[in-house]
């Protein structure tokens, strides 16, 4: 019997080498993931070490039998893939357990939808600062990780001088509801003269939805149909200390719609433009939304529906990608109560799971 070890980048490459050198009858004895030693091992993908054996090396198959062998090989690759998946999962588990006190929290970040690259970056930074520390208490370890997350969350209150606030984002994320919550906050709690402009004449019932809120609070509302009408509407609300601008939800994949929206907002003087995102949006979709709305020149983020998800990592990913602060989060459908000023410490705790 001949036994040989192969260290390769992926399983397919390994199978090809084994087939070429040991022939189609080779069997896999063991397969495991191996990392380079030292800190560098954290940054480069692990290699796969495959141990294969064969009774005796056979000559390459005759062309007539190639199809059958190909099929058999594919089946074996399929089985091997499954086997490797299981092995990798168990190796990862051992890896985490053997990798020191921070590894558990890193996995927790990833399980909470923090992008693996970002979690790695946090881990590397912690390793740099705390590699020499041994026997840290669990609570201390958690605090170190939490502080790293918190520092990346970039929460920031709205400046007091802000007068014009516009809300943009995908459909149904809670733009109008959040606007209504803030309108009540400014007019009832801060006693500021508040006005509303809506440019959402796109969806049937949108104006009525807003008018209902406005009527309850006695706030004047202007409906703007084209970008040209915007300056007049602003003029009519000239005595207002705060003006909230509602917009129609836009599909992030439709660049034309996003450009139209940008044209409506262009005449606004010194606006704060909030990109409203639902905390329950999938990580990949969130990335697309953040990119495609850039044309609108939003400068702040709001996360809604915090009550509808159990994982909050997308908030950290979004702050990193947009490089912008989160100003508010919303926690339910109740107007005006379910609104909070974003608190980095609180969000970091949610991301780490309590
Ligand atoms: N659970 C929960 N629901 C919310 C929250 N904010 C808004 N909603 C609900 O989400 C739904 C959509 O809210 P809207 O405010 O109409 O959303 P929108 O972004 O204005 O929607 P379009 O204008 O159609 O794009 C409503 O049922 C709201 O009550 C929140 O923080 N939590
Ligand atoms: Mg709306």
Could you report the per-residue pLDDT of 31-85, keeping only the tens digit for each?
777 877 766 666 677 788 888 888 765 554 555 677 788 888 888 888 888 887 7
Q: Which atom of ligand 1 is nearest to the CA of 304?
A: 31
Residue 156 lies in a domain: no
Which residue range(s) make up the domain with 141?
103-151
CATH assignment at residue 313? 3.40.50.300
Instruction: Specify if 185 maps to a domain.
Output: yes
Q: State whether 280 and 133 are in the same domain.
A: no
The minimum-distance atom of ligand 1 relative to the CA of 249 is 25
Report pTM.
0.73
Alpha-carbon span 251 to 254, nearest angstrom? 5
Buried b (16+ CB within 10 A) or exposed e, 29-45: eebebeeeeeeeeeeee
Q: To test the ligand 1 pocket, which listed residue (170, 177, 278) has its Cβ within 8 A of the most ligand atoms?
A: 177
Do 117 and 264 lie in one domain? The reply is no
Last residue of a domain, one of 95, 128, 143: 95
Look up residue 292 and give its two tokens: 């495609």
Q: Is there a single domain that holds both residue 40 and residue 82?
A: yes
Residue of 333, 337, 339, 342 with the most ligand 1 atoms within 8 Å of its CB, for mutation:
333
**145 plus 235 within the same structural domain:** no
Q: Are 220 and 237 in contact (CB under 8 A)?
A: yes
Q: Confirm whether 267 is domain-assigned.
A: yes
Find the 172 Cα to ligand 1 centroid distance in Å: 5
Residue 225 and residue 329 in one domain: yes
The stretch 204-212 carries a mean pLDDT of: 78
> Are 20 and 73 members of one domain?
yes
- The answer as to whether 159 is a domain residue is no
With 0-12 / 13-18 / 19 or more C-beta atoms within 10 angstroms meaning exposed / middle / buried, residue 280 is middle
Burial of 60 (0-12, 13-18, 19+ CB in 10 A): exposed
174 CA to middle of ligand 2, Å? 7
Residues 90 and 230 both lie in one domain = no
Task: Ligand 1 pocket test: pick from 166, 169, 171, 172 the residue with the most ligand atoms within 8 Å of its Cβ.
Answer: 172
**H or E element, residue 141:** helix 138-151
Domain shared by 52 and 132, yes or no: no
The partner residues of 246 in beta bridges, in order of sequence, read 167, 198
Same domain membership, residue 223 and residue 197: yes
Is residue 255 one of the residues assigned to a domain? yes
Q: What is the pLDDT of residues 67-78, one digit of tens each?
A: 788 888 888 888
| 79 and 214 within one domain | no
**118 plus 91 within the same structural domain:** no
- pLDDT bucket at 324, cuts 50 / 70 / 90: very high
Choose between 328 and 40: higher pLDDT.
328
The pLDDT-based confidence of 133 (bands split at 50, 70, 90) is low
Q: How many domains does the chain have?
A: 3
In a domain, 116, yes or no: yes
């Amino acid at each position: 019997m001949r036994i040989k070890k192969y260290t390769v980048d992926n399983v397919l490459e390994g199978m090809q080498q084994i087939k070429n050198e040991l022939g189609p009858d080779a069997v896999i004895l063991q397969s495991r993931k191996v990392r380079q030693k030292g800190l560098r091992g954290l940054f480069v993908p692990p290699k796969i070490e495959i141990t294969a054996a064969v009774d005796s090396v056979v000559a390459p198959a005759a062309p007539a039998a190639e199809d059958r062998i190909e099929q058999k090989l594919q089946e074996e690759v399929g089985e091997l893939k499954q086997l490797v998946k299981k092995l990798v999962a168990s190796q990862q588990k051992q890896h985490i357990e053997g990798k020191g006190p921070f590894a558990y929290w890193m996995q927790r970040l990833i399980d909470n939808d923090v992008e693996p690259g970002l979690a790695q970056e946090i881990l590397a930074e912690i390793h740099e600062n705390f590699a020499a520390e041994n026997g840290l208490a669990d609570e201390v370890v958690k605090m170190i990780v939490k502080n790293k997350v918190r520092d990346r969350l970039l929460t920031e209150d709205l400046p007091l001088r802000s007068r014009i606030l516009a809300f943009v984002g995908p459909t149904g994320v809670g733009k109008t509801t959040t606007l209504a919550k803030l309108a009540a906050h400014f007019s009832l709690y801060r006693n500021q003269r508040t006005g509303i402009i809506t440019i959402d004449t796109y969806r049937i019932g949108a104006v009525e939805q807003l008018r209902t809120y406005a009527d309850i609070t006695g706030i004047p509302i202007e409906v703007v149909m084209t970008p040209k009408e915007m300056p007049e509407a602003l003029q009519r609300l000239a005595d207002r200390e705060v003006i909230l601008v509602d917009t129609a939800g836009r599909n992030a994949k439709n660049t034309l719609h996003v450009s139209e929206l940008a044209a409506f907002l262009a005449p606004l003087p010194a606006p704060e433009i909030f990109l409203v995102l639902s905390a329950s949006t999938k990580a990949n979709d969130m990335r697309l939304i953040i990119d495609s709305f850039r044309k609108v020149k939003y400068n702040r983020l709001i996360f809604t529906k915090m009550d509808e998800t159990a994982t909050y990592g997308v908030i950290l990913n979004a702050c990193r990608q947009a490089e912008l602060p989160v100003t508010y989060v919303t926690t339910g459908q109740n107007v005006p109560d379910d609104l909070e000023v974003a608190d980095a410490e609180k969000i970091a705790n949610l991301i780490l799971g309590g």
